[in-house]
């Protein structure tokens, strides 16, 4: 069994995000980077799945600059077997990411693609669905529980919806995206870091995959959300209605 797990390099969730003076992007000085938390959950599930089935090869993939090797090495230290970096220094949108992952899928022929439901830097939540559409295979999104049949022919996925828990059966190969409640990723150990140094990390380009990574979307401007006004405490329902009417007139 082979499992493909994409890992995206994103600002650490504990890092304070600042928009640069021009509004064209984020200020990168002093920013610490990490594996996208949803992708780390997907990798943890792949590792647990390997333990369940007995044997499986886990390939972690990242798209970006040479700096992404840091996150790939972290993925190898967690327990992945191989790493692949698609070297591309320019920004890529969700469709370009899906095209590159589709080319890697055709090259590697994995039984399963496990990835985060979204990346915390843009919250697009598109790449997984686009990948499944490009490949013409099944998908299960936002899963909170995963089980694979003994013959690795299908996956049973549990999804949390507004109406309650939903159980979905999807034939493999398929694209499955992980939600927060799926698991809690393991910590990287010193032994894992030492082992990761000996594991293969392949570097290729979009041209090697025969893919044009040009983005079809363009970022115009970034800005921080406006600060909220302080709340007002009211004593009665009548006073609340009065305040709401006043606010409505201002708007």
Q: What is the pLDDT of residue 91?
A: 86
Does the pLDDT at position 151 exceed 90?
Answer: no
Q: pLDDT-based confidence at 247, cuts 50/70/90?
A: confident
Q: What is the pLDDT of residue 219?
A: 81
User: Architecture of domain 2-250 in CATH?
Assistant: 3-Layer(aba) Sandwich (3.40)
Does the pLDDT at position 163 exceed 60?
Answer: yes
Q: What is the pLDDT of residue 80?
A: 95
Q: What is the pLDDT of residue 250?
A: 60
Strand partners, 178: 116, 143
Q: What is the pLDDT of residue 8?
A: 95
In the chain, the largest separation of any two C-alpha atoms, in whole Å, equals: 71
For residues 146-164, average pLDDT: 90
Q: What is the pLDDT of residue 72?
A: 96
């Amino acid at each position: 069994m082979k499992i493909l797990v994409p890992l995206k390099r994103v600002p650490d969730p504990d890092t304070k995000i600042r928009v640069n003076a021009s509004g064209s992007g984020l200020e990168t000085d002093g920013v610490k980077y990490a594996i996208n938390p949803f992708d780390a959950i997907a990798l943890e599930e792949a590792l647990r799945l390997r333990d369940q089935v007995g044997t499986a090869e886990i390939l972690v993939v990242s798209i970006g600059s040479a700096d992404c090797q840091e996150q790939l090495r972290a993925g190898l230290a967690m327990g992945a077997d191989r790493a692949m970096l698609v070297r591309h220094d320019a920004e890529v949108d969700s469709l370009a990411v899906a095209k590159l992952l589709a080319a890697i899928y055709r090259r590697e022929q994995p039984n399963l693609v496990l990835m985060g439901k979204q990346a915390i830097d843009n919250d697009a939540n598109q790449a997984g669905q686009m990948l499944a559409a490009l490949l013409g295979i099944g998908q299960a999104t936002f899963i909170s529980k995963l089980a694979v049949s003994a013959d690795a022919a299908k996956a049973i996925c549990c999804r949390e919806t507004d109406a309650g828990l939903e159980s979905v059966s999807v034939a493999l190969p398929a694209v499955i995206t992980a939600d927060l409640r799926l698991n809690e990723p393991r910590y990287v150990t010193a032994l894992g870091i030492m082992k990761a140094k000996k594991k293969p990390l392949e570097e290729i380009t979009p041209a090697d995959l025969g893919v044009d990574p040009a983005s079809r979307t363009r970022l115009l401007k970034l800005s921080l959300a406006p600060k909220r006004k302080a709340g007002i405490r009211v004593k009665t329902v009548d006073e609340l209605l009065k305040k709401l009417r006043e606010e409505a007139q201002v708007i």
